Amino acid sequence: MAVSNPYQRFIKNLKDAMEALELPKPERKLLLEPQHEFNKDVSITKDDGTTTKFHAFRVQYNNARGPYKGGIRFHPAADKDEVKALAALMAIKTAVVGIPFGGAKGGVQVDPKTLSTRELEELSRAYIRAFVDHLGPDTDVPAPDVNTTPQIMAWMRDEYEKLTKTYAPAMITGKPLSNDGSRGRDTATARGGFFILEAVIKDQKLKAKNLCVAIQGFGNAGGTMARFLYEAGYTVVAVSDSHGGVYAKDGLDIPEVEKQKEKTGRISGKNLKGAKDVTNEELMELPCDILIPAALDNVITADNAKKIKAKLILEIANGPTTPEADEILGKRKITVIPDVLANSGGVTVSYFEWSQGKSGEQWTDEQVDSELKLVILTAYKDVRREVHRRKIPYRQAAFIVGVQRLVEAMKQSS
Ligand code: NAD
């Protein structure tokens, strides 16, 4: 039976890991539900003078390993189950990567494109007013997520500091550099994914210049990943955004694609040498060695998993693969590097930003890069050890590493 609800999908992966670890029943129960779920309606005054309400959420999944940590997304489809699933994934992710945070997530059911800048600022501040009692540098530390930006983080910090009458640069991460942000935060997710990809292909004794890559999503994570791969000599054959994508058998000139996207807001094959337009669905099934979903969840399903030609999938997006697709890909011996490992560079540099906020230090680009590499590659090796020891896929191995660390921390704190 297909598992369609994102939280049920998480629970399936969690239960598999708990089974493999032979956890006793009382420990299993502790991880099946979040520690706290807060839902509130927040109101703003629109530019035309009317008042509008939005559903807002903050889910705190687990804090046994440190303060709750997780982004806030502004999206019309944000709902309780999605936010719960993302909060739970954060708890696993911070444990896999070994940083001293728990897992949380927030969301507002809104299409931010329908708001003016002033309305967006009011909504951001209203979110903090609604949940201020549950947030704080040592309690719960939010960050950007889909459709929330460094500017929004700066407004949220300001509102928090006003309400609590404190100086609190470490209450939120993903802030602009001029507002106590960290160097390297904007490229961290792609950077971390790139380090892992390089380690995987080295393990598989492959060479970058012989490998073709298709990437879905050309935003912060996918666009930056495309540039890193292009610069490192990979052949990036396809990229896409929400309007569709382009494919060039011999490789795309990524700086040209960036220029086009900046100029027209779209990606089109018309003015790119050797390229043709493809749909987002077609992109997933193109001939390539590596497929990188870097946009939406639920894009690799039982329907297209049989047709995917890549031998390696690097999940930069959160939750792109359904459990049914996972099973098919496993049978087809396609390696899937799961989101909780592949995109953990973002939260790792968020941790560096939080530490800098607490100590008042400012790290250099080189410092951020070398610390990130160390943290990410240690996590990769920990997960790979379980893959080899238990002969299981990377997702299962990552969940086993994460759940084991969470349970150990819960035992120490109980
Ligand atoms: P973003 O908003 O910067 O970019 C998203 C990209 O996806 C855009 O290019 C957009 O056009 C494209 N897109 C939207 N709808 C699409 C559709 N229907 N089909 C194909 N493409 C579509 O977001 P981002 O920060 O790059 O995040 C992308 C994914 O990576 C999300 O799943 C997010 O949760 C995950 N992620 C991001 C970070 C980070 O630090 N940015 C960290 C961890 C995970």
Residue-wise pLDDT tens digits, 156-201: 999 999 999 999 999 999 999 999 999 999 999 999 999 999 999 9
The whole-number pLDDT of residue 2 equals 56
pTM of the model: 0.95
CATH number corresponding to 37-169: 3.40.50.10860
Pocket test for ligand 1, best of 194, 241, 350 (most atoms within 8 A of CB): 241
Which pLDDT tens digit goes with each residue over 285-310? Answer: 999 999 999 998 899 999 999 999 99
Ligand 1: centre distance to CA 413 (Å): 36
Calpha distance 165→1 (Å, rounded)? 52
CA distances 293 to 35, 266, 413, Å, are 30, 18, 37
Angle (nearest 5°) at CA 398 between 363 and 59: 70
The whole-number pLDDT of residue 6 equals 84
Of 414 and 313, the structure prediction assigns the larger pLDDT to 313
The whole-number pLDDT of residue 270 equals 85
- The atom number, within ligand 1, closest to the CA of 295 reads 7
The whole-number pLDDT of residue 154 equals 98
The answer to whether residue 98 scores a pLDDT higher than 80 is yes
- The atom number, within ligand 1, closest to the CA of 245 reads 20
The whole-number pLDDT of residue 221 equals 94
Residues of the chain with CATH 3.40.50.10860: 37-169
Calpha distance 159→164 (Å, rounded)? 9
Residues of the chain with CATH 3.40.50.720: 188-337
- The atom number, within ligand 1, closest to the CA of 339 reads 44
The CATH fold of domain 188-337: Rossmann fold (3.40.50)
Per-residue burial over 217-238, b if 16 or more Cβ lie within 10 Å, else e, is bbebbbbbbbbbbbeeebbbbb
Nearest to 138 by CA among 162, 172, 185, 165: 172
Q: Which two tokens stand for residue 190?
A: 């792609």
Which pLDDT tens digit goes with each residue over 378-404? Answer: 999 999 999 999 999 999 999 999 999
Which pLDDT tens digit goes with each residue over 304-345? Answer: 999 999 999 999 999 999 999 999 999 999 999 999 999 999
Residues with CB under 6 A from ligand 1: 145-146, 189, 216-222, 240-242, 280, 294-296, 316-318, 343, 346
